[in-house]
């Protein structure tokens, strides 16, 4: 693996009082199955600035790689958890992806449920860029 390089970009979006903040890091490159991949980490903070209590049920991601097809990732919860956020609570987690190019992006949404009314809705994750420092200069 190449020397670890950190480059952070911030994106934010609010849906129904729930604020999603994203920071990204470029973590170098690595070979897998004789192919070069660029490694990106993303750190997400979910803030419940509403008066209701919500549970994150599932996620939906579109991952764009400038040298590859769009990858769709779906599943229950995030990093194996389905956190419940009461008013003014915050939940953070980190994850990552591998791209075949030095340029990409991600966007998506979380499905949340109001634990009192059982109403489900989407909380949108802002589009954020995945770029190596060389590309962004």
Domain boundaries, the chain: 10-136
**129 bridge partner residues:** 105
Phi/psi at 102 (5° precision): -85, 5
> What is the second-level CATH architecture of the domain 10-136?
Sandwich (2.60)
Per-residue pLDDT of the chain (137 residues; tens, 9 = 90+): 444 545 566 889 999 999 999 999 999 999 999 999 999 999 999 999 999 999 999 999 999 999 888 999 999 999 999 999 999 999 999 999 999 999 999 999 999 999 999 999 999 999 999 998 865 44
How many angstroms separate the CA atoms of 97 and 90, rounded?
A: 23
Q: Which residues contact 51 (CB under 8 A, 6 or more apart)?
A: 17, 87
- Residue 9: its pLDDT value, please? 64
């Amino acid at each position: 693996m190449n020397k670890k390089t950190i480059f952070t970009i911030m994106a934010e979006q609010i849906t129904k009082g729930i604020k999603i903040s994203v920071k990204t890091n470029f973590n170098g490159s690595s070979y897998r199955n004789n192919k070069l991949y660029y490694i990106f980490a993303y750190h997400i903070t979910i803030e419940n600035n509403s008066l209701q209590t919500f549970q994150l049920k599932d996620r939906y991601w579109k991952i764009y790689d400038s040298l590859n097809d769009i990858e769709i990732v779906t599943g229950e919860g995030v990093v194996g958890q389905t956190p419940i956020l009461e008013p003014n609570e915050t939940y953070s987690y980190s994850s990552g992806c591998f791209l075949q190019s030095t340029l990409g992006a991600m966007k998506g949404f979380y499905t949340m449920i109001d634990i009192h009314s059982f109403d489900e809705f989407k909380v949108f994750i802002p589009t954020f860029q995945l770029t190596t420092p060389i590309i962004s200069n």
